[in-house]
Every structure is written in C-alpha cells, then in structure tokens.
Amino acid sequence: MTASFRETLHPGWGQTFEVGDILFELDTGHQHLLIFENPLFGRVMALDGAVQTTSRDEFVYHETLTHVPMFSHPDPKRVLIIGGGDGGILREVVKHPGLEQVTQVEIDAAVIDLCKQYFPAHSDGAFDHPKAHIVIGDGIEFVNTTDERFDIILSDSTDPMGPGEVLFTERFYQGVARCLNPGGIFAAQNGVPFLQLEEARNAHQRLGQLFADASFFMAAVPTYVGGAMALAWASDDPAIREQLSLDAVSQRYRATAMQTRYYNPAIHMAAFALPQYLQDACDQAS
C-alpha cells in the first residue's frame, strides 16, 4: 500500500500527497518536520502538518514575494529578509544588480543547514553570495533593536500559528516601520485569504495603523491550496503602488537580463488586482 501525507492546515479539509522516500523526519515535541519525495512535486517539506515548500513549485512564491516589491521600489539597495531559511527569497534578491547588501535573519541555523542539504536549488549558492549577511537570531527582536535601515523588508514566515505567529503581531510591524527607510516597502506571506480571511483582515488593520499604504498582492502557488495566496504590502508612500506603470517595470526588468519562471512585468501589474471578498475585508478593516 502506497504511503500518503495529508495536510491538516485547514480543519475539515486538506490535500493528500503520495509519499515516496522519507528523507528526514524530526519530532521535537514542539513541532514535527517532515521531508519526503513525491512523484509530482519532487521534494516536499511539511511542518506540523502544513506544506511549507516543494522543489517543483517554490519559484512561484519566491519570485513573486521578492520581485514585486524589488521592481516597485525605484532603487532598492539594502534589503532585510526575516525568516526564509530555505534560501529561495535570498536567491531571488541577489539577482538585482543594484543591490548593495541583503541581511537575512533566521532564528534557527539548523533550518538553513537542512535546506542546503535537501533543497540545494532553493538557495542555489546564495548563502555564500558576497552581498549576503546571515544573522542567526530572532526576527522580531532584530527589527525592534537594529540601528540599520532598509529599503525593502521581506517576511518569509510560516502561517500565523506556532513559531510564526509573532511575525504577524503589532510589535513586529512596529519594528518593521522603525527600520524601513522613507519610501521603503514591506512585503510578507499572509496565507490563502479564501480560507484565512480573518488573518488577512487582522494584518491589514495592523499595517494600516502604521503605514499610509497597506494592501495585498497575489500569487497562485499550486501547493498552497484554497485559492490564490495573499502577500501583504505596506509603505509610507502610496504613490509607489498608485503610479506604477507596466512600461516602467518592463524597462527595469529587461535591463537586468534576469531569468524568471513565473514573474514578469504583466504578472507584476496583475498581482495587485484583489478578489472582491478580500477587497471588502480590507475596506472593513480600514
């Protein structure tokens, strides 16, 4: 009989994966981590019953969360990544030629080591990039204490439960606001709003109290099921999003000669179109 893994992120409904070889499994008593092979999605990582990443579709999430804010900002030189221990966001950030430094704060060094071993293509050597500075520490403490300032801050966390819950709190968002340069952009993973609408509403309300422009952009990640994923967006300058043009994004994208598999300028512009149920939730939270 073929072994299977059933995701349990959403009560009463889930998706099932065929399990080939189990490559790694660890139950610490606080969380359960599983890495296994699947014939369709390649290597799959699950944490506490929720799929975190797969080797086949990771590029959709990582490219969208990175390049939408990076190509929206007129000149992003200093970038901060909170979480993102698999290295996928870091891999995409260092593709930008104007970048001067990217700092990544990951709370658990073992996550980086594990992903280097089992998901090497996610980081593709980015952890050793000369512009990358890796900090092993608590992301919420970092943004509330650092003297550094950043043009872009990207939060690549698990869902707002367990270890990732603090990265959706008012204190974290306050820390982000204090170390973001004027005209800077914050973007973050924010779940699938069709099934996690209250989480989106809460994030929008908290960000709206700190930033002049708070919204979301969207990405359709196959293994993050239940509809398109919402990625939070916040900036003190509404003009960044309001005045963005396809021509401007296209010119910058072509100038980098960057190779992407999901992201392109048309996807960039379309990502800000929200389904009405999410727009209504944002309006109610404002």
State the catalytic residues.
156
For the stretch 204-228, what's the b/e string if a residue is b when 16 or more beta carbons lie within 10 angstroms of its beta carbon? bbbbbebbebbbbbbbebebbbbbb
Query: If DSSP codes are grouped into helix, strand and coil, which group holds residue 132?
Result: strand
- Which pair of tokens denotes residue 43? 């290597």
DSSP state of 10: B
List the one residue out of 186, 171, 183 whose CA is nearest residue 243.
183
Q: How far apart are CA 137 and CA 134, in angstroms?
A: 9
Paired tokens of 86: 């698999």
